A and B are shown apart, each in its own frame.
Chain A
Amino acid sequence: MAFEPNEPQEKIKYDEMRIYSDEELNNYTEEELKNFKTKHDTPMCDDLESGPWPSFVADAKREALHRRKLADDRILLSAETVEDTLGQLEDSFVDGETHWKHGGIVGVFGYGGGVIGRYSDLQEKYPAVAHFHTLRVNQPMSKFYNTDFLRTICDLWEYRGSGMMNMHGSTGDIILLGTTTEQLEPIFYQMTHEMQQDLGGSGSNLRSPSCCLGRARCEWSCIDTQDMCYELTHYYQDELHRPAFPYKFKFKFDGCPNGCVASIARSDMSFIGTWKDDIRIDQDAVQAYIAGDIAPNGGAHAGKDWGKFDIQKEVINLCPTACMWMEDGKLMIDNKECTRCMHCINTMPQALRPGADTGVSILFGAKAPILEGAQMAVLTVPFMKCEPPYENIKDLVEKVWDWWMEEGKNRERLGELIQRWGLPKFLEVIGLPPMPQMVTEPRSNPYIFWKAEEVPGGFKRNIEDYRVKHMR
């Protein structure tokens, strides 16, 4: 099914929106580039132009030259922004320390986040990066673009920013790197009024959700990650733009356990597609793999000779639950013992497919080390159906938020709150009974809490009654 946006979308036509002419966009020659000297000497940066990997220094120099050759009134920031960035970076390489000042609070009216303010601590030396604020721009799901959109945003950013970007931030946003405070509202105005494009999240709020490319280009996607990510991003715009939480909160959506957007490690609420019926087997294709007609793993190991494909060795013996075997030349799977790890499917994509009865597992609490140590998400909802408009998912999200917003301490991630209060309390909050699937192993210590009502007679005891039987 083709993707349907929630609201009518105007097609962005670059020809109508463009700021620069073709001549301006191609305003230098390779010859000029070779002879181009940047404003500051940057020997350590220059070193990073060698080697086969695309060099960010080389790219920055192209941009620096390009900006030098644009007319003064064709860019609103200094033409030397890129060169001063390199200059300050060089100083940092030499000193081994950062030259950005602490923090920075800037933004646009109506929102409490979306812009990361930053100021240089070497403003006299590098005036063009005295202000160097970063805008987070909410990316389209799975980062599919057309060139009209990209060219339009590039023109806007060349004109009102540094021309440098990060495609994309780890959370997912398009990152526009470096502009001044005065430019923030005009950029925001143009993005919203002319491009139907909003900012992403920053601060103690819902950050920009992101997803794997899902059904757009992957036969394993058990859920429509893009639709779900888009729907929840729209539905929770308020929570994204106006920080109301004890700390940041992230959603990520993986279509299957392969985890191409790493939701299990990088989101407070991780959605991972799965299935609960049987793996679909095409026995003819299994035979084709065995015969060597189809390369295993889609040819992923073609770079080295690993010998002829051996289904026993490469699939059956590697199944973590040992629930596969060959019988009369047929591949058999005991699906009730399968943990849906994806290994066999990954190895023989043309022979095996996830089941058809699909949904999501929901895991909570992943976070980076600060403060209480790194956490991956903990499986909490083993399986949940998930169809538009995702009412059941939204219900769950809101139960979690209500609790965390009330009980979470200042700057306490959900994962830390769950640790502090315990998983049983969290299960109570979201209204799920405890299940064996929620733990890797039962606890080994005996510090077990009981509720008063679970203990016959409760906790109120009188020592006098005890003394009747046990003398002091």
Chain B
Amino acid sequence: MPTLEFEGNTFNVDEDGFIDDFNNWNEDWVKYVKTTEGIEELTDEHWKVITVVQDYYKKNGIAPMVRILSKVTGFKLKYIYELFPSGPGKGACKMAGLPKPTGCV
């Protein structure tokens, strides 16, 4: 598993750039992922999505369905793509430190 250094942190990531363990997440990770996921400026709205995703994951052990993410944040899917150009899975979940989405993607 490749490791990468960012602002004094060491992160273990897989080939898709997902972090190895949710517990190793910190705010610097978000700043790092920003550089690869086509995000110019991190806003409160980015953080809102990240927090919702993380809270849901801590409580339920899975990522929220897109519909639930939209409902809880109040952001339509289109707007989530404006915030995270790779979308809720590759963009937001990666940033939030969740495990990589699986299934027939």
Q: Which B residues lie within 8 Å of A102 (CB)?
A: 102
Given A104-B15, A104-B16, A112-B90, answer yes or no on A203-B67 (Cβ-Cβ < 8 Å): no
Q: Which A residues lie within 8 Å of B86 (CB)?
A: 107, 109, 112
Say whether B65 contacts A112, CB under 8 Å: no
Q: How large is the interface on A (under 10, 10 to 19, 20 to 34, 35 or more residues)?
A: 20 to 34
Q: Which B residues lie within 8 Å of A117 (CB)?
A: 16, 105
Cβ of A326 to closest chain B Cβ, rounded Å: 53
Given A105-B16, A243-B66, A244-B67, answer yes or no on A202-B87 (Cβ-Cβ < 8 Å): no
B78 interface contact, C-beta 8 A:
yes
Docked CA distance A245–B66 (Å): 7
Q: Which A residues lie within 8 Å of B67 (CB)?
A: 244, 246, 405-406
A interface secondary structure, majority:
loop
A112 nearest CB neighbor, chain B only? B87
A280 interface contact, C-beta 8 A:
no
- Within B62-105, the residues touching A (CB, 8 Å) are 62, 65-67, 77-78, 81, 85-90, 94, 100-105
B105 nearest CB neighbor, chain A only? A203
Q: Which B residues lie within 8 Å of A244 (CB)?
A: 66-67, 77
A67 interface contact, C-beta 8 A:
no
Cβ of B56 to closest chain A Cβ, rounded Å: 12
A394 interface contact, C-beta 8 A:
no
B18 interface contact, C-beta 8 A:
yes
B interface secondary structure, majority:
loop
Name the one of B78, B87, B89, B94 contacting A238, with C-beta atoms under 8 angstroms: B78
Say whether B103 contacts A411, CB under 8 Å: yes
Docked CA distance A180–B54 (Å): 30
Say whether A242 contacts B16, CB under 8 Å: no
A110 interface contact, C-beta 8 A:
yes
| Centre residue among B86, B94, B100 by max chain A CB count within 10 A | B86
| Centre residue among A104, A116, A246 by max chain B CB count within 10 A | A104
Given A202-B104, A405-B67, answer yes or no on A106-B16 (Cβ-Cβ < 8 Å): yes
Q: Which A residues lie within 8 Å of B103 (CB)?
A: 204, 411
Name the one of A116, A242, A245, A410 contacting B105, with C-beta atoms under 8 angstroms: A116
A113 interface contact, C-beta 8 A:
yes
Cβ of B69 to closest chain A Cβ, rounded Å: 10
| Centre residue among B38, B67, B88, B104 by max chain A CB count within 10 A | B104
Docked CA distance A435–B78 (Å): 39
A111 interface contact, C-beta 8 A:
yes
Say whether A113 contacts B105, CB under 8 Å: yes
Interface code A237-273, partner B: CB below 8 Å = 1, 0 otherwise? 0100011111010000000000000000000000000
Can you list 14 A-B contacts with CB-CB less than 8 angstroms, sorted by A residue number? A102-B102, A103-B101, A105-B89, A105-B101, A110-B81, A112-B88, A113-B105, A202-B104, A204-B103, A242-B87, A243-B66, A243-B89, A244-B66, A248-B104
* A-B interface, 10 closest residue pairs, ranked by CB to CB distance from nearest: A112-B87, A109-B85, A105-B16, A109-B38, A203-B105, A244-B77, A105-B90, A103-B102, A119-B15, A244-B66
